[in-house]
Amino acid sequence: MMMTSRSLAVLLTVATLMAAPDIAAAQPAAPPAAPGTGPASAADAAKRAEALVDKAKSLYLEGKYQEAEAALLVAWELNPTFDVAYNLGNTEYKLQKHREAAQYLSFALRNWPLLKTVAKLKPRAEQWLAESRAQVGALKVSVTVAGADVLVDGKIVGRAPLEGEVFVDPGEHQVEARHLDYEPASQTVGVAKGGTAEAKLAITPVKAKPQASAGATPDGGTSAPGAGAGAPVMGQPPAGPVEPQPLPEKRSWVPVIALGAASAVGLGVGIGMTVASNSANSEARAQRDQIFAAGGGCLASPSFTERCSELHDSSERAGLLGDIALGSYIASGVLATAALTYALWPAPRAERSTALVVLPELRGDGFGLVMAGAW
């Protein structure tokens, strides 16, 4: 049975994760790439994070929890996903860092995948979270404006609205909300050990500064009547007649809107295909685990032909969806570049009628966009 390089990579990942079930977990669907990062850089970061998780797994099994923690913190910065959070929470629990353990374990449980292979790990994670939470306090923070930075004791903990609670040491804490277009707001909140407190922050828009009145001079005075910008200077001949300058041609923004919408469609398709590809990868891992659990293998066990065929199909589907996602990201970037180029290009002398049609096209080998129009 022939297998693609992508399929082989999926199987090797599953085989590695089986080596230490107490700390390893399946990779969930990755979140959308951050602005300014493409599929290639996101994939590279995920691969580096996976290598660090493997390293941390070995250190954990050797009882070197601090070294494992350091490797997992770097992996979290590269790829903050369910499996990294679960492993970090486990390690922090072993180090008795209850506040950090509660934060990572709560994230892992909020994003727990629906996979049978990791279902047995969930009760253990819930127990660790309950024990860690009993040793610290929890803050529920709400801000009136979405996108505002939320800070606790001067450190950013996320952007509003926060997904879950913020775990802190018992005592008083300063909670703040900051936004460029709004006045900051803060509140002091006290929380007991094992307790929960709420912080509700209302931020108001920044007031616009009053503009200087017409005719005012830089030193605060006013100019004399008739001494405007166009008045002649004493001792110099008056300026000659000024020829009227042609008004710039009006630009049609329909192409920019259409191209931007098409770019958004391409990006949305790319994100959807990425999620679907990761889901297919997770399915392939689960199928491989079942084959290994039954004591079989795809290369030396003819009795597992049907299961191996399903595994091959899942892996091929994951590869195809990944290729479609990559093509969608590229198409989105091209369309966004075209929209920006048109918006910044000098306006034409004569305005032409604009008509642009953008239609999605699904083919057997992937996804495409068809555009027709003139401007």
CATH of 136-204, one of 2.60.40.1940, 2.40.50.100, 2.60.40.3880, 2.60.40.10: 2.60.40.10
Where do we find the tokens 């770019």? Answer: 263
The predicted pLDDT at position 236 comes to 46
User: Domain 13-132 is in which class?
Assistant: mainly alpha
Is pLDDT at 14 greater than 50 in this prediction? no
- The average pLDDT across 349-363 equals 53
**Closest by Cα among 264, 339, 281 to 9:** 281
Terminal-to-terminal C-alpha distance of the chain = 52
Q: Between 131 and 241, name the one with better pLDDT.
A: 131
Q: What are phi and psi for residue 23, nearest 5 degrees?
A: -125, -20
Amino acid at 349: R
pLDDT digit string, tens, across residues 114-137: 888 888 889 999 999 999 999 999
Least confident segment among 209-218, 227-236, 321-330, 358-367: 227-236
- State how far the Cα of 96 lies from the Cα of 87, in Å rounded to an integer: 14
- State how far the Cα of 149 lies from the Cα of 156, in Å rounded to an integer: 7
Given a contact cutoff of 8 angstroms between Cβ atoms, the answer to whether 342 and 266 are in contact is no
Is pLDDT at 246 greater than 70 in this prediction? no
> Residue 220 to residues 214, 215, 216, 372: CA-CA distances in angstroms?
11, 10, 6, 58
pLDDT digit string, tens, across residues 122-177: 999 999 999 999 999 999 999 999 999 999 999 999 999 998 999 999 999 999 99
Specify which residues 368 forms β-bridges with: 361
Least confident segment among 160-164, 178-182, 185-189, 299-303: 299-303
Is pLDDT at 65 greater than 90 in this prediction? yes
Given a contact cutoff of 8 angstroms between Cβ atoms, the answer to whether 153 and 146 are in contact is no
Percent of the chain with pLDDT over 90: 38
> Residue 43 to residues 32, 50, 285: CA-CA distances in angstroms?
11, 11, 18
Q: What is the largest CA-CA distance in the chain?
A: 107
> Would you place residue 27 in the very low, low, confident or very high pLDDT band (cuts 50, 70, 90)?
very low
Specify which residues 177 forms β-bridges with: 150, 185
Residues 6+ apart with CB under 8 A from 372: 356, 357
> Residue 207 to residues 183, 213, 259, 314, 362: CA-CA distances in angstroms?
9, 18, 35, 57, 50
Three-state secondary-structure class, residue 369: strand
Q: What is the DSSP letter of 250?
A: P
Specify which residues 373 forms β-bridges with: 356
Other C-beta atoms lying within 10 Å of the C-beta of residue 328: 26
- State how far the Cα of 140 lies from the Cα of 142, in Å rounded to an integer: 7
